[in-house]
Structure formats: structure tokens, C-alpha cells
Amino acid sequence: MVRYAATPSNPAKSASARGSYLRVSFKNTRETAQAINGWKLTRAQQYLDQVLDHQRAIPFRRFNHSIGRTGQGKEFGVTKARWPAKSVNFIKDLLRNAQANAEAKGLDTEKLTISHIQVNQAPKQRRRTYRAHGRINAYQSSPSHIELTLTEEDEVVEKATDKKVVRLNARQRGRLASQRRLTASA
């Protein structure tokens, strides 16, 4: 059993999945994860499919330097958005894995919500590229650790509307008691 960054409040009603040292861009994956954090599982899966079809975009909020603008970002109140296919596929696979873990626990997949999703940087993989005039530069990749937790939400029950309790002062209570005595004797 590996340790997750966030422990669920009710482990019996949650399922987790994680991937370590994944060859996928940390920055793109972080933005993809933040876009679906707190969403219902089915909504997140549909959204990620739409991102792959370029119908909707992932908003880039933190790692957005030199990111082009698109009108699809208006949905999230940003101008910069992209369609990071590789990151979307990795997160979709982890969501599918967590969903299978939830089904194995007997949880209702229609009520599952992404309660925790986190992307951390893994150690960089180093290569080199050969430049003009005999120079050599670093050529690194930025892999990721991804973890997520799905939690089954409790049903929301409306509070029963009780009759409004009226507070009476001493004079009002006395008057009400005398009226009851009069109606009881009549």
C-alpha cells in the first residue's frame, strides 16, 4: 500500500489510483488535472473526450507563458487554453482505473466525484542535443507522478419544513390560556 498525499475522510466510500514516473508533460498534466478537480466522474470523462475531439479546451492558468489564445477558454473565464492529448489520455486511463477500483469496492459509479487529484514532478530524464560549433545542450523531459481519489457522494436530503415555532411572552401566554379556558367551558 502506497501513501497518498490526501487521505479520504471515509475510505470505505472512496477509491484511488496513481501513476508514477509517467512520460507525460508535468505542466500540461497539472493544468488538465486542475480543470476536472471536484467534478463528477461521468462529467469529467465526457469533458476529456470532448477535449480530444477539440470541441472544448483545457484552461491554462499557471503554466501559460507563450500559450496561444482560443475562444474555447471563455467557458472557464480565461483566454489561454489548449488541447493536451497525451495528458488527457493519461488522466483518462487513471480515471478508468479508479472507477474499476470503485466498482470492485461496490460503490455506485454514478455518484463518484473527483475529490482529490494531484500532479507532482518526477525526476527529469536527461538527454543531450548537439549544437553548432561543437556545443552540447541539455535536452530534458519532465515526467509526472499523478494520483487521484474518487469519493461516493452522499445523497442530499432536504430538511423537513417544521411548523414555525412562535415565541410568546408572559402576557401573550396568559391571554391564550384564558381564551382556551373560555372555549373549553363553553
Q: pLDDT digits over 11-31, tens only?
A: 999 999 999 999 999 999 999
Cβ count within 10 A of residue 181: 10
- DSSP 8-state code for residue 96: H
Report whether 152 contacts 101 (CB < 8 A).
Answer: no
Mean pLDDT of 109-138: 97
**Mean pLDDT across 157-186:** 85
Superfamily of domain 12-154: Ribosomal protein L22/L17 (3.90.470.10)
Instruction: Quote the percentage of the chain above a pLDDT of 90.
Output: 84
Q: What is the mean pLDDT of residues 132-145?
A: 98
pLDDT greater than 80 at residue 7: yes
Average of pLDDT values for 59-65? Answer: 96
Cell of 89: 489520455
Q: What average pLDDT score do residues 85-110 get?
A: 97
- The mean pLDDT of the chain is 94
Q: Which three three-digit cell numbers place residue 83? A: 488541447
Say if residues 162 and 185 touch (Cβ distance below 8 Å). no
Mean pLDDT across the stretch 51-72?
97
**What's the rounded Cα separation, in Å, for the pair 112 and 149?**
10
Rounded mean pLDDT, 26-40: 98
Average pLDDT over residues 96-122: 96
pLDDT reading at 1 higher than 70: no
Helix (H, G, I), strand (E, B), or coil: what is residue 120? strand
